[in-house]
Amino acid sequence: MIGKLKGLIDSYGEDYVILDVQGVGYQVHCSARTLQALPQAGEAAMLSIETYVREDQIRLFGFRSDMEREWFRLLQTVQGVGARVALAVLSTLTPAEIANAIALRDKAAIARTPGVGPKVAERIVSELKDKAPAFASVDPVIAHLAGAVADDNAPGAIRDAISALVNLGYGQPQASAAVATASRSAGEGAETAMLIRLGLKELAK
């Protein structure tokens, strides 16, 4: 199995790069983000590699970091997500953005990926919700609240405050994060009106 390749950029295709490693040209499929970050032809580059062996072919997928490769693997553990969809998600969002979106149950962010509909986005968020927080930069308390809201287990005042902020035009993840911060500062038992007021202050920052 090939785990890493280091060589010179030979040429680019629509969704791949030819990497010249000591005279051997390897065709490596990459996300759009990775292709855009690679140097010009003739310059040196190194890619983490995921090798797929099939009966009729061997395909190499390349990534700028081991973290990107890890997300490529994780995404494909979701039902209905293959290599092509996983690369599309990584073309649209960075690994950190994917982790944050899943931790905050932000299905809309995942669904921005071309070819990923609401159902697939829902599966990605729900099936990876226990794995994403380890990679996310969001506050664990906020991620927990977002999960409680998604599962309809949050206290009534919190749900009402989030609903009010959503009705004002804020996205569900942003509203959840703002109310989580407000709830932390206001303490347990805070009323809806206070949570809304503090949430709006948080969103205005």
H/E segment holding residue 32: helix 32-37
Q: Mark whether 24 and 77 lie in a shared domain.
A: no
Q: Mark whether 111 and 95 lie in a shared domain.
A: yes
Specify the pTM.
Answer: 0.69
Q: Mark whether 59 and 84 lie in a shared domain.
A: no
Rounded CA-CA distance 197/182 in Å is 8
Q: Mark whether 129 and 86 lie in a shared domain.
A: yes
Q: Which of 34, 63, 92 marks a domain boundary?
A: 63
Q: Which of 31, 63, 95 marks a domain boundary?
A: 63
Domain count, the chain: 3
- Locate tokens 């390349």: which residue? 62
Q: Mark whether 71 and 126 lie in a shared domain.
A: yes
Strands 4-12, 44-53: pairing is antiparallel
Instruction: Please give the C-alpha separations between residue 23 and each of 4, 6, 10, 154, in angstroms, as whole numbers.
Output: 16, 12, 10, 60
Tokens in use for 71?
Answer: 């997300």
pLDDT tens across the length of the chain (205 residues)? 788 999 999 999 999 999 999 999 999 999 999 999 999 999 999 999 999 988 888 999 999 988 899 999 999 999 989 999 999 999 999 888 888 888 778 888 899 999 899 999 999 988 998 776 555 555 555 655 655 555 555 677 888 888 888 888 887 777 877 887 888 777 777 888 888 888 888 878 7
Range of the domain at 160: 140-203
Q: Mark whether 105 and 160 lie in a shared domain.
A: no
Q: Which of 119, 134, 149 marks a domain boundary?
A: 134
Q: Mark whether 155 and 168 lie in a shared domain.
A: yes
Contact criterion met (CB below 8 Å) for 51 and 77? no
Question: The CATH number of the domain where 124 resides is what?
Answer: 1.10.150.20
